[in-house]
Structure 1
Amino acid sequence: MLFVLIGLWTIGLLLIVTDPKRMTTRWISSIAFTGGCGGLSAVIADDLFPLFYAKGWLTSNVAPLLTQAEIFSSLTCYYGLPYTFVMFSIVYFPDYPYWSWQRKRWLPYVLLLPPVLSFAFDAPPDAPIPYSYVLFWAVPYILGGIYLLTAGTWKERNSFLRRSRLLTTAAAAPTLFFALFTLYVLPALFGEYEWWRYNPGIIAFTIAVIVGSSFRYGFMGLQISIQNQKLDYTLRAITSGTSILNHAIKNDVGKIRLFGDKIKSDAERGTADPENLMRDVEVILAASQHIYDMIYRIQGQTQEVELVMEEFEPERILRQCLDMLAPETQGVLVEEQYLYRGTMTGDRAQLTEVWTNVLTNAIEAMPGGGKLTVRLSETKRKLVVEIKDSGLGMEKHQLKRVFDPFYTTKSGKKLNFGLGLSYCYTIVMKHKGTMNIHSKPGQGTSVFMQFPRRAAAESRKGASENGQ
């Protein structure tokens, strides 16, 4: 058990030293610490007591101290391991950063209540803990944590992050599932109290996964730092100021040049219509304003994109996006369906960039013409933006990687950074929304972006309250 103690505490220490400010790092380090406490308890009972007795150090003053240390370490493992594991699984889940701040604030304390109440129950004779009560909360904590880790891995769309989640799940889930039986189920139901001695074998597997993956891929910070899992890798890799500004400016400068050439061509031919001219100038002004807005929102090259929440009409923004892309839709039948005509709260500039990117991808997927459908609708709780093309579609392996930073299916094009959908995904998620893509070769592609009707307003309210 000395191996368990040293191995788990070493990993926990390395993780917490590497990135102490990250919530997931703190919780996974807590798992290593509480699990290591079980090893410490066994070391005290099996090694230190005999050693102190043989050396004559087991005096009347020392013996009670060792006993209390053994009990404290044992209870820390029994009560702390399920709690720290379920908390890690919750904060590691992909959607956790976008849950309402009110629930997040109280959740750790609510889940801590059952373990704390365990101290109020007396353990039966020859049993280390009151199993009848502890089983009541420890089993759902561990099984719930395993479910969240597995579901989070399945839910992750970014292939890089999915591999990270898979490694984390492989390291944690089997060990906790085995511990569920050796520490709780077998003692409580069958009176088998010594099965915990087999834990070092499965813990050795966990340590091997962590050490091995940390050298090759990185594990939770050993090479490291892969959480805020939905935003951290994405934001650090693709939302640095230079990357996002390059991408936004590339799109808007292309629009300005396109409409500038159109105005010049019309003027040279003497066919300039005042109404069309005014519309083209408005597109150019809108593109230049969008560049300014994007610059305003980027707070330095490595800082996170800052959302500026305001109320606007999504129908109007979608129409403006289509107007700016009008010269590129030659030969494309554009069908607009605006079933929702109200307002939403969000970052107008960022969502303009998102919808322009998705529309551009749809148009470029139909080089020979086709049908582009833009649909804005609502459900009871969500606003839904659907952009559908009848283009080439994507293969299954391409679809799995569309949200990966710097991955692109348009490698032959100049000034294509492979940032579009990664950026779009990040911004939609920061609005507490979801983004899904359905596509098959030869059947076109549909992009669905759903936004909670109240989530954006709550985000603004929460931000203002936190700033007070």
Structure 2
Amino acid sequence: MIIAFFLLLFVVMMPTSIYLLVKQRENRLLFWGALIILTVGLSGLQVGLEKLALPLMESSGAGDPWINAIYIVTAFLNIIIHAFPYYLILVFFMYFSGYSTALATGLLLVPALLTFVFSDVYPAARMNYSYILSWAIPYMLASAALFAIGLLKVENIKHKRLQYFGIGMIVLIPEVFLLLLQLEGIYFELPIAILTFIPILCLISLLLGLIFYVYNVFARFQSATVLTKMQIGTSMMQHAFKNAISKNKLHALNMQRSLEAQQYEAAGNHLNNLLNSNDHLMSMVSKLSYLTRSRISLELETLDISGLLREVLDQWTTPAVAIETRFTPAIMELDRTLVAECFSNVISNAVEAMEGKGTLTVTVERIKHKVKVSFSDTGKGMDKEQVKRMFEPFFSTKHKSGHNFGLGMFYVRKIMSAHRGKVAVASQLGKGTTVTLYFS
């Protein structure tokens, strides 16, 4: 009966985790939650191999190399399912409460990896529970503390607090039972029935998690930090709007005075300034409309991406920036205006990253049914944390000004998503950045 429950864990948890990892990898809460589900699914695989596959192979007279290989696999899986949940759950709560950093995520992985060093795999499998518990208990306490901090930060609305509490319990309660299982035999004895209860508890937790997933509860908590940034960014844009409107009024008054004084050349200059300021104001309105629009409507037409890209590049006349191109004809159905804006945003970022001097390499190539457009600059580059956050609205590595709101890459991804395309970014500090757009 216990083996059947664990096999059911494998059959249910593995496909669920793979689906979430593929479909929801941009939602960091769901990504780390999917990894937790994956480890639970692996526990079912481990029990199946150890309790069913190995005895069957031994009784059927299978060769020693095959038996030893399965034996080593089960030992590795045993280490993963006993050690890695503590790490994954802690990182999950770091994202849950808004305290995640790439450095902390990497450093916290070290004790879990060292479990492979302090435990034996071959010729005799032996779990070093004393070592695991030495860091797992602090990890678990830290997870509980982050959960409590996050719970205090949630808006004082009953259903939101209940949702937050429910998500925490879905993760923490199975972790408590894992800890009890590892402590069993060291400090106290537990009835064998607890082994049956653990897979049932995991399946219940998965069911509740899927209910939260269907109702987009994870997405709501994931977006809380982004919404705060959007509120700050919106205030910044309101300030910029007021400045632009004040400038327009000043230009109009100066033009009126110049006309009254019959200073027509000066009036013309003020008129040009007024028109430029108006263009900037309209650009901000356009960006704000894209930000609030849930869906972008496309006006598709058949065009050559390489030809459109040449038109966009012709608008950039920066003598100190060398532009190298390698284009292949690629005819697709696209929205000319939006894709041109998408290209322009990426090029603008590249030129600013190079501080007006360097080399921008632009390539267009067709790969089967897809078109790959790459922009590689020789600028200052970004660290991993900046790359991870660059698609957030109002996040920018550049100096904030009335012309820069940290919305460029947010638009790029939104436009590409509307075209069912993707954006990939690779960057190294001091070596430059490559932005790749995939059209399908």
* TM-score normalised by structure 2 residue count: 0.51
Distance 1:168 1:63, change over 3 A: same
CA contact (8 A) 1:123 1:131 kept: no
2:75 aligned partner: 71
Distance 1:289 1:152, change over 3 A: farther
1:83 positional shift: 1.4
1:59 positional shift: 3.8
Distance 1:82 1:36, change over 3 A: same
1:348 positional shift: 6.5
Alignment of 1:229-378 (within 5 A): 229-231=224-226, 248=238, 294-295=284-285, 300-301=290-291, 304-306=393-395, 347=400
Alignment of 1:123-134 (within 5 A): 128-134=126-132
2:297 aligned partner: none
Pick 1 or 2: higher relative contact order, CA cutoff 8 A, min separation 6: 1
Alignment of 1:357-436 (within 5 A): none
> Deviations along 1:404-460, whole A, 9 cap, x unmatched?
xxxxxxxxxxxxxxxxxxxxxxxxxxxxxxxxxxxxxxxxxxxxxxxxxxxxxxxxx
- What is the distance in 2 between the residues matched to 1:172 and 1:225? 18
Distance 1:464 1:37, change over 3 A: closer
The match for 2:117 among 116, 120, 126 is 120
5+ long unaligned stretches in structure 2: 1-5, 254-276, 294-390, 406-427, 434-440
1:400 aligned partner: none
- What is the distance in 2 between the residues matched to 1:113 and 1:308? 30
Instruction: Say yes or no: does 1:141 pair with 2:230.
Output: no
Instruction: Say yes or no: does 1:32 pair with 2:43.
Output: no
**Paired amino acid for 2:107:** V
- What is the distance in 2 between the residues matched to 1:6 and 1:180? 24
1:47 positional shift: 2.6
- What is the distance in 2 between the residues matched to 1:162 and 1:291? 41
> Deviations along 1:103-123, whole A, 9 cap, x unmatched?
x33223321221222233356
1:15 positional shift: 1.5
Alignment of 1:77-116 (within 5 A): 77-96=81-100, 104-116=101-113
1:203 positional shift: 0.8
Q: Secondary structure at the match of 1:61?
A: helix
Q: Tell me how many residue pairs correspond in the alignment.
A: 283
Distance 1:110 1:234, change over 3 A: closer
The match for 1:4 among 1, 9, 12 is 9
**Paired amino acid for 2:115:** S
> Deviations along 1:11-48, whole A, 9 cap, x unmatched?
31221122223433332221111222222211222232
* RMSD between aligned residues: 4.9
1:172 positional shift: 0.7
2:165 aligned partner: 166
1:43 aligned partner: 48
The match for 2:24 among 15, 19, 24 is 19
CA contact (8 A) 1:299 1:305 kept: no
- What is the distance in 1 between the residues matched to 2:104 and 2:137? 18
**Paired amino acid for 1:179:** L
- What is the distance in 2 between the residues matched to 1:300 and 1:349? 18
1:202 positional shift: 1.6
1:227 aligned partner: 222
- What is the distance in 2 between the residues matched to 1:34 and 1:152? 25
Distance 1:307 1:142, change over 3 A: same
